[in-house]
Amino acid sequence: MKTAIEIENLAHNYGLVKALKPLNMSIESGTLFGFIGPDGAGKTTLFRILTSLLLPTQGKAKVLGLDVVNDFRKLRPLLGYMPGRFSLYQDLTVEENLNFFAKLFKTSIEENYHLIKDIYDQIAPFKNRLAGKLSGGMKQKLALSCALIHKPDLLFLDEPTTGVDVVSRAEFWEMLRKLKNHGITIVVSTPYMDEAALCDKVALIQKGKILQTDSPQNIMENFSKPLFSVKSINRNSLSKDIETFGKTDSFYWFGDSIHWIGSDDKDADLLRIYLQQKKHEDLEIEKINASIEDCFMDLMKGNHE
């Protein structure tokens, strides 16, 4: 496997703010790689450095074997980049935008149409509509088409699914899978932890620090803490009561139940007794396998402390 991105001791400060702490990692060619982390974690900063838009404060990064600082002229044409903010010309139509970006990269829509066909077919009915008047999901599809039009070797997508409805998000990830099959390395960032499971490999990033890099399967399998789902009819006092329970390691709302981590499997029985004393009815406590979100919640909690 070839290496698409190699990062060595890379860091970036905005004045006194350490946006990115010294970072070492590599990303293999042909993978769908996800950076998962909350807003302000440093994802955009990292992407801007890797796309040569920002100079790192320290360290080195090689993308497609080219240095992001010195070889930026050679590097830029090989990259496809979709910034986090919708960055197309809102006063141009769908078709005009696509044409413009094709010409910018000295290619034509026809030449690489096979790449964007699946995506573009969905927005083609609106090709004469101004880009600014498209819905959120449509905008992202158009932006993706524009980023792909020159058949880049490496695609950077900065939070492509933020502000997009659930159905469009699922469609979007489906497209990324297909693109991967065309041999394009895709690096994507997202604040939605559930999307991590859709990547080949993920890196959890928080406060400018990478907490873990692995495949989602490995991350989930390596989670060893006792994790339980707790449900009660009396939702309002549930979290308060769990908080006062002495054996609680951590807990958080997960949909309509609370995910609770103790220090031992046996603690769950103690929790049941404790909650019954607190007059919780229809109590459901069951051991569950960690989802990727559970793993991240746990990792992020560790980083906070």
Partner 1 sequence: MKGFIIKEFLQIFRDYRSMAILFGIPIAQILLFGFALNMDLNNAHIAIVNKSGDSKSIELINKINSSDYFIVDQVFNSEKDIEAAFQQGEIKEVIVIPEDFSARLATNQKVELQVVADASDPNTASILVNYTQAVVSSFQQQNIKGSSTSLPLIQVESRFKYNESLKSVYMFVPGVFTIILMLVSAMMTSISIAREKELGTMEILLVSPITPVQIILGKVFPYVLLSFINAGLILLLSAFVFGMPFSGSITLLLAEALLFILMALSLGIFISTVSNSQQTAMLLSMFALLLPTILLSGFVFPIKNMPDVLQWLSHLMPGKWFIIIVKAIILKGAGIAELWKETLIIFSMTLFFIGLSVKKFNIRLSTN
Gap between the Cα atoms of 209 and 18, Å rounded: 10
In terms of CB distance, is 48 or 280 closer to partner 1? Answer: 48
In terms of CB distance, is 60 or 247 closer to partner 1? Answer: 60
Gap between the Cα atoms of 101 and 201, Å rounded: 30
Gap between the Cα atoms of 257 and 60, Å rounded: 44
Please count the other Cβ atoms lying within 10 Å of the Cβ belonging to residue 222.
Answer: 11
**Shortest Å, Cβ 134 to partner 1:** 15
Amino acid identity of residue 84, one-letter, is G
CB 155 within 8 A of CB 185: yes
Beta strand pairing status for 154-158 and 79-82? parallel
In terms of CB distance, is 78 or 285 closer to partner 1? Answer: 78
In terms of CB distance, is 99 or 234 closer to partner 1? Answer: 99
**Shortest Å, Cβ 197 to partner 1:** 29
Residues that bind partner 1 (CB under 8 A): 14-15, 48, 51-55, 72, 76-77, 79, 81, 83, 85-92, 96, 99-106, 146-147
Gap between the Cα atoms of 284 and 304, Å rounded: 30
Gap between the Cα atoms of 97 and 77, Å rounded: 18
Beta strand pairing status for 58-63 and 3-14? antiparallel
58 backbone φψ class: left, alpha, beta (φ>0; ψ -120 to 50): beta
- Residue for token pair 């070839």: 2
In terms of CB distance, is 156 or 296 closer to partner 1? Answer: 156
Can you give 46-84 as a three-state secondary structure string?
HHHHHCCCCCCCEEEEEECCEECCCCHHHHHHHEEEECC
In terms of CB distance, is 123 or 202 closer to partner 1? Answer: 123
Gap between the Cα atoms of 286 and 260, Å rounded: 10
**Shortest Å, Cβ 186 to partner 1:** 16
> 3-class DSSP state for residue 163?
coil
In terms of CB distance, is 101 or 274 closer to partner 1? Answer: 101
Strands (E), 15-57: 17-28, 32-36
In terms of CB distance, is 15 or 255 closer to partner 1? Answer: 15
